[in-house]
Structure 1
Amino acid sequence: MMHTARIHPENPRFLLGLVGAGIKASRTPPMHEREGDEQGLRLMYQKIDLEELRIGPEALPELLTAAERMDFAGLNITHPCKQAIIPYLDELSADAAALGAVNTVILKSGRRYGHNTDWWGFSESFKRGLPGARLSSVVQLGAGGAGTAVAHALMTLGVRELVLADKDFSRAKAVAASLNDRFERFGANSVRVSHDLDADMAAADGLVHCTPTGMDNYPGLPLPAEMLRPELWVAEIVYFPLETALVREARRIGCRTLDGGGMAVFQAVEAFRLFTGVKPDDQRMLRHFIQLGSGAKEAAT
């Protein structure tokens, strides 16, 4: 059935954008626009693709200034800018400051406010998608901007031991130290860095993947397939494609799996509220996200 807009001309106008690399197939813009439509808002959402513009995170100051001049209400921020954007913001929410990563920027009255809705988005997705999952020991691959938020979410979900593995050992070590400070009630060694991924995977209840591997631009598995076993649950945050090589292999051998779609939707739910001041319908946004992928070729974001 064709969707019919119910926009009220007298309502506030919201011009929004997504800043990141390789985002041409992102479902975020139509997801926000449809929900704005349903809420009777005048909402326009633009993609600002660093790859297409042939620029990198060093252009963020210029992009932020341009967004302000064009009266953008806010921006979503994705790979590779979630940490790089922080020096150019005026104020951070408590979550963004604690995590050292921003995925939502509100532009208001000449000031730039950074927020992080990724951690809540992952937490909501996990609770709904993997209920009852064992949380004694969890291995997480990747400790970048999104990974930091997911690690925070995993601790709030009650993980007893979180093992971080990242190609940048010092980055993983810093994230582990920060999390241990924040969640010291769980014990000093509740978050640690992996020194032997094979052994850590053998002892784990679950695996969470937070690197770009699996996107079309970064194909393949993020770890050897033989480290997977049917008893593991596997959670992915990549959602272009929705079934990554990791999710496909995990499903093939019988693991419980969680794709990255839920996190994409629920982080957007909170971002929409921050942008507009209106509480969106999360189930409607989830249904629309699924509809957007029906019959469409997935691509990297």
Structure 2
Amino acid sequence: MTDTRPHTLFSFGTLLDQRVQHSLFGRAVPTTPASLAGYTTRPLAITDASVIATSGQDVHLTLERQSGATVEGAVLRLSEAELAAADAYEVDDYARRRVLLTSGETAWAYLDARALRAAARIVVVGDSIAYGRCDPQGGWAAHLAGAHIAANETRHRVFNLAIPGSTLADVDEQTPPLLAPRLPDTLVVAAGINDSALPVSGTGAGGDALPQVAERLASLAATAHRHDARMVVVGPTWIDESRLSDFAGLRFTTERATALRTALRAWCENRHIDFLDMWEPLRDQPHLLVDGLHPTTEGHKELYRHLSTLGC
């Protein structure tokens, strides 16, 4: 017999209120006590009148990461239609993401929609743009680290493990052994431009990485989940193709870069994984690129400014 309520949702707030459940689902949902380690809660002001009317509250709770903390709540088992009703109820400040309960069970939970704002310990993996090549200040990741750590010198950390030249295949291979010592709660995968490149004829042994993007992302998502870390995919930046007909034995084109951007976005949207689009800040601004590919110091500042509006 097919299970009509296949979705497991961890709740710690108003979704546990039977009045809210009756309003959303037309019934009181049986719950099972559960807990979520590595998180704490903070208040979130609600302005949506319909949500306030349903819950009777104009302040709800949201989750943020904190090592050693635990949030007590309960698991609800919902049908597809009921999960859609819960999605519609939660305001845009929340995003439904997978979490790992202390029981070892995987469940949905409504987290802060701005993933980096809710993070404490961030690991960045990726290529030369994430590494900060061509910027003596360390690139957008260094700006992220400075602001994030300054917000909480005791608990916040950022580890930039990006390596120039890396593709997603390289990142997938290199990342797993690096995570455990750093205790990350957020894994930022800067899926950069290298996965769109093709070797110039006769100059490389590599092939087309685009068909393997989904497989590599799935593997990285599994790695992040094993470490109870939220995965955030940072998309490729705009390139100036006119200066990149042959760059270090590779050919980069706007068409292929756009295809990568589209593939990353679609994969993330279909799996409820955070995607931060980094294309627009440098678009049609070649003066913000050193060589058509790598951002200048000011280009990295623009990328960070854009990132801070999306995820921080």
TM-score by length of 1: 0.34
More strand by share: 2
TM-score by length of 2: 0.33
